[in-house]
Amino acid sequence: MNDVEDEPDSSCSDDGRILDNYAVDTAEESDSFCPLMNDNSIPATAPRKLSYEADGTKTDGVKTEEQTEMSYFSVPSFITCEKSNDVDSSDFFDTSPSQIKDFLFAQVLGIRILVFVLQFLFNSWDFSTDAFKGVPVEEEELTRLDHLIQRVFAGFKRWDAVHMLHIAQHEYVYENSLAFFPFYPMTIRILSMAWATPFVHFGILHVSSALLISAVAINLGCFIAAAAVLYCIVRKVSHSVKQAVIAVLLFSANPASIFFSAAYTES
């Protein structure tokens, strides 16, 4: 056997020799190429079978420790926006655009409802400050419906919202109101005049309550429109539906989300 290894027969191919473009499998080809060698006679130092990766790189079929460690720290495909080649794999982000828009609309609206519930539960935790309180309204001028509206939406009329609602009702009376632009307060006023004039005229609703409802409604509509615009921008820039959806969800659920529903100009 040693003679065969030292001086191989011309009729027996060297199963350990690696050709230029392919490798010979020792286990499969030894019987057909060299009958003198059986499975037990294969040297322990016989070269291992080589294989080729998809990118053309040559490997020996066994991952090294370095390759194993690199695989643990590889960037996930969902971050690099890579898609799997498996045709049977299904992804929510591959669904129709209408389904994704319906999903986002439901999430955005649900988060707005959650914000409304939170402000209703904790709006009484407003500590005393020297901030502007607006023009006080006599209790006799408010109906039971007004008291209910003021109680339900009290968390949406704090701090700067008081200035916005005051400008919408009385325009610019005090000097400190000049720090706020008139577009948003005037929009609140016009919308309130469009739908609440009969209710105010017959004493069903006070003008301050109508302005508060209009302000919350305007911010809700502007917030939904802002979420739609953000989705389009991220989708255009990143070419990724998943990143666009995540951006909209983070935009809706961020800790400062209360300012998008209050009578502020953030929305």
pLDDT digits (tens, 9 = 90+) for 185-202: 999 999 988 888 888 888
Q: Does residue 244 surpass a pLDDT of 70? A: yes
Q: What angle do CA 153, 155, 159 make, to 5 degrees?
A: 120
Give the tokens for residue 43: 């040297």
CA dihedral 164, 170, 173, 177 (to 10 degrees): 0
**Dist CA 161 CA 262 (whole Å):** 7
pLDDT greater than 90 at residue 233 = yes
**What count of other Cβ atoms lies within 10 Å of the Cβ of residue 71?**
9
- Per-chain mean pLDDT for the chain: 72
Strands 58-59 and 51-52 come out as antiparallel
How many whole angstroms separate alpha carbon 184 and alpha carbon 219? 10
The CB density around residue 219, as the number of other CB atoms within 10 Å, is 25
Token output for 94: 């591959």
Contacts of 104 (CB under 8 A, 6+ apart): 227, 231, 245, 248, 249
Tens-digit pLDDT profile for residues 102-131: 899 999 999 999 988 888 888 766 655 556
CB-based contact 248:104 (threshold 8 Å): yes
Mean pLDDT, residues 173-196: 87
Can you give the pLDDT at residue 21?
46
User: Of 252, 236, 267, which Cα lies nearest the Cα of 103?
Assistant: 252
**Single pTM value for the model:** 0.60
The token duo for 140 is: 């006799």
Q: How confident is the model at residue 163 (pLDDT cuts 50, 70, 90)?
A: confident
Q: Which of 66-70, 192-196, 247-251 has the lowest average pLDDT?
A: 66-70
Measured distance CA(223)–CA(83) in Å, rounded: 32
- What string of H, E and C letters represents the secondary structure of 113-137? HHHHHHHHHHCCCCCCCCCCCCCCC
> Half-sphere exposure of 20 toward its Cβ, with a 13 Å CA cutoff?
0
CA distances 31 to 26, 37, 42, 157, Å, are: 9, 7, 11, 88
